[in-house]
Structure 1
Amino acid sequence: MTAPSLFGTVLRLHKSRVLTAALRGHGLRFASFVHQEGYIGGQWVPAASGKLFPVTNPANGEVVGSVADMGEEETQAAIDAAHTAFQTWHKTTAKERSGLLRQWYNLVEEHKEDLARLMVLESGKPLVEARGEISYGSAFLEWYSEEARRIYGEVVQSPVTSKEMVFIRRPIGVASMITPWNFPNAMITRKAGAALAAGCTCVVKPAEDTPFSALALAELAEKAGIPPGVVNVVTASRGNTPAVGNLMCSSPKVAGVFFTGSTGVGKLLYNQCAQGVKRIGLELGGNAPFIVFNSASVKDAVAGLMVAKFRNAGQTCISANRVLVQEGVHDQFLAALKEAVEQQTVVGDGMKDGVTVGPLINAAQLKRVEKIVQETVACGAQVVMGGSVHSAGECFFQPTILTGVTEDMRAFKEEIFGPVIPIKKFETEEEALKTANATQHGLASYFYSQDVSQVWRVARSLEAGMTGINEGLISAAEVAFGGIKESGIGREGSKHGIDDYTYIKYLCFGGIN
């Protein structure tokens, strides 16, 4: 059943769109970016129930707008549309797919200011960071527009003269994508760019906190000429999300599931995908160590930590979470860090000039961060600065530094996802590595040292999929992003990002004699 027949008369959004005061007041030039409906089979369609759910700005609680609260019926329609589109999309040439991805990239770049402002309104992140994310996200479309033409096969030397043996790569099929609120643009382009380059089609379920960015990307994909059904977006409230997610994993028409989010949800999806033995890509939570050795440049280490911790108010999976500082530079580092936090962090509404730290995504996340700090302090940690809710609003938390933290305290055991820096002093390299690796997470890690031998020893020994060495900003479209242990499966970005969307097909040509 097609989306139009399922939902009856489809309301084209440019006819039904209503801008809220929040959107009108923040310089959005293109009303076409603001969609209430989902995008299925090349059509903008409402929820079958007619229901909407509100999206609020975490900086002030103001309703940004409302979007369709879709469920299993609409999700099945999206999967059907993607499955139908795959029958022709996978037969397109790499050159054709490359050209369409490039056009999508061009349109994102053309409209990046509107995309950034829309992102600030629904996610709360500072405008300067939102602009950075749009550039980062579009880089994946550019990268995969180029990599589409580099999906190579192999010719194997046959053991007998009567046969020739060849490997080719084929797209897996329909890819379900469940994306998070903290990077509502880039986590879609990073997945969809690779999928489309490989010849797959996709169904995207964005986080309920940030659906507008996903719908805006769908708008630009449509304008780029990407055929109906190749990209689909299903929006759902928190209440409908479990049922939508289950169908995106269990449908026999879905070949693979790709998720960025918490480890707990990732494990649930992994289990659901096991029933169909589906391809899966998981980029899950982290608990990144940030180690400062005696040989480090303290100035550089402080600068790196400011980036690795306070970007998106600490709400990134690769945020520095456990800061380990060797005793020889501990006091110097702490003093320099405190000065940097005082001078460089400005908390407030992301639309205001000069703001560097926005709100946490919602009140529940604020309460969680507050409780982590309170429990850590109750166990003996000292508050150097911050430590409580910020006066800027109900979802803001003060930039915080804690010292005297030990491995058994909650701030070291859990991913904080907030602007909190817990610091532990250590004596030896062996001690630092033991502490850093004492976690089931293994996404990112960071360390600072000017000792070349130490750099190689520590880089080899840290148990993480990615390591920043004298560097706090490690993400790029060109790199293989992903973790080990309970931090995920597979890699996104780089040439390896296409691997999960293809399978190797072996062709044996016989009877050559």
Structure 2
Amino acid sequence: MVTTKRSGEVVSALLADRRTRKLSFTGSTEVGRVLLRQAADNVLRTSMELGGNAALIVCADADLDVAVDGAMVAKMRNIGESCIAANRIYVEEPVREEFTARFAERMGALSVGHGLDDGVDVGALIDEASATKIDELVADAVARGARVLVGGKRPDGPGHFYPPTVLVDVPEDARLLEAEIFGPVAPIISFTSDDEVMAKANDTEHGLVGYVFTRDLQRALRFTEGLETGMVGVNRGLISDPSAPFGGVKQSGIGKEGSHEGILEYLDVTYAAIDLP
């Protein structure tokens, strides 16, 4: 274990050393690209668990109690600062109004404050840059026509706080539909067909996880096969399990963590063809 305030320099030196055999990284796609370039010089084996832009899809036949609970978990675990947090919430038109009202009520009931205080649900973001970025993403969406149902305004005073926020009427050119929000902001977008929402969900460079809520097994399997992600949660907002392979596709990563597949990332296979005398 090496602790440092100059991680770039230290990691560059480690990757340049011929004794290094393997690089495993969890972090942003931007940093992952840099590390992959550095790992190429020594042709290192790599595992990359990078950024996400998860779509959460609520179909009209979903159990809305399950869907609202699942959306709260998928969006607000670690107050949204998670690579597998729901970034975009797509709701089929017949249940859009009811789901949105119930979800917004749950988000609005969360209390914001210092994480060690009793009764606090949402603590501070990791740093000032994160709070500023989220504030700018919300302002951009509103400027393009989105409406704020809950939150949407950074509180006065010190600290890197941002309130749970729900946006509707979010236009397709809003920046927060492309960026990894990494905070407690939930844009809700309506859809009318599976093909439409599948195309929107896949219209991203990321492919870490997707979430689908439906009572129709065939529909769930179509989404599971059609979503360009490494993982899919069906009728649940929590997918992490040490016994399951964790990882994404596209620019969300290379390889898997956890489970048997994760162990294989650290093993070399040797094939021996032998003739005995």
TM-score (norm 2): 0.97
Q: CA contact under 8 A between 1:347 and 1:392: conserved in structure 2?
A: no
Aligned to 2:86: 320
Alignment match, 1:76: none
Cα offset, 1:302, TM superposition = 0.8
| Residue pairs, 1:28-427, within 5 angstroms | 233-237=1-5, 240-343=6-109, 345-391=110-156, 393-427=158-192
Is 1:428 aligned to 2:193, yes or no?
yes
Structure 2: stretches of 5+ with no match in the other structure: none
Which is bigger in relative contact order (C-alpha 8 A, separation at least 6)? 2
- Matched-pair contact (CA < 8 Å) for 1:311–1:357: no
Distance in 2 between residues matched to 1:399 and 1:456, nearest whole Å? 32
1:384–1:402 contact (8 Å) kept in structure 2: yes
Q: Secondary structure at the match of 1:402?
A: strand
- Does residue 440 (structure 1) correspond to residue 208 (structure 2)? The answer is no
Conserved 8 A contact 2:141-2:171? no
Which of 454, 458, 461 is equivalent to 2:223? Answer: 458
CA distance in 2, matches of 1:269, 1:494: 24
Using the alignment, how far apart are the partners of 1:370 and 1:248 within structure 2?
A: 37
Task: Tell me, in whole angstroms, the C-alpha distance in 1 between the residues paired with 2:45 and 2:100.
Answer: 45
Q: Which amino acid aligns with 2:73?
A: V
Paired residue secondary structure (1:264)? helix
**C-alpha displacement of 1:506:** 2.2
3-state secondary structure, aligned to 1:384: strand
Aligned length: 277
**SS in structure 2 opposite 1:436?**
helix
1:242 Cα shift? 1.6
Partners of 2:264 and 2:35 lie apart in 1 by 20
Q: 1:393 to 1:473 in 2, by over 3 A?
A: farther
User: For residue 272 of structure 2, what is the aligned residue in structure 1?
Assistant: 507
User: What is the distance in 2 between the residues matched to 1:499 and 1:250?
Assistant: 24
| 1-structure distance, mates of 2:221, 2:140 | 36
Taking the aligned partners of 1:473 and 1:391, their CA distance within structure 2 comes to 33
Report if the CA contact (8 A) 2:198-2:223 is conserved. Answer: yes
**Equivalent pair of 2:113/2:120 in contact (CA under 8 Å):** yes
Q: 2: distance between equivalents of 1:330 and 1:392? A: 35
Q: Are 1:490 and 1:500, in contact at CA under 8 Å, matched by a contact in 2?
A: yes
Match of 1:491 in 2: 256
Could you tell me which amino acid in structure 1 is paired with residue 143 of structure 2? A
- Bigger Rg over Cα: 1
1:405 offset after TM fit, Å? 1.0
Superimposed CA distance per residue, residues 74-118 of structure 1 (whole angstroms, 9 cap, x where no aligned partner): xxxxxxxxxxxxxxxxxxxxxxxxxxxxxxxxxxxxxxxxxxxxx
Name the residue aligned to 1:112: none
Say if 2:229 and 2:248, in contact at 8 Å, map to a contact too.
yes
CA distance in 1, matches of 2:72, 2:227: 21
- 2:2 partner letter: V
Cα offset, 1:393, TM superposition? 4.1
SS in 2 for 1:303: helix
Cα 1:392–1:470 change in 2 (3 A) is farther
Structure 1 residue 276 displacement after superposition = 0.6
Shift of the alpha carbon at 1:392? 7.2
SS at match of 1:254: coil
**2: CA distance between counterparts of 1:390 and 1:317?**
25
Deviations 1:415-448 (A, max 9, x none): 1001000111111111110100001100010010
Cα distance in 1 for residues equivalent to 2:89 and 2:162: 19
Question: What percent identity do the matched residue pairs reach?
Answer: 42
| Residue 507 of structure 1, CA deviation | 3.0
> Partners of 2:65 and 2:146 in 1: how far apart?
25
Q: Distance in 2 between matches of 1:276 and 1:464?
A: 29
CA distance in 2, matches of 1:387, 1:258: 36
Shift of 1:497: 0.9
Secondary structure of 2:36's aligned partner: helix
RMSD (CA atoms): 1.2
Structure 1, unaligned stretches of length 5 or more? 1-232
Query: In the alignment, is the contact (CA less than 8 A) between 1:297 and 1:450 conserved in 2?
Result: yes
Larger helix percent? 1
Cα shift at 1:408:
1.6
Per-residue CA distance 1:306-330 (angstroms, 9 max, x = gap): 1111111100000000110111000
Inter-partner Cα distance in structure 1 for 2:148 and 2:198: 25
Q: Find the aligned partners of 1:497 and 1:392 in 2 and give their Cα distance.
A: 44
Whether contact under 8 Å (2:144, 2:171) holds in the other structure is no
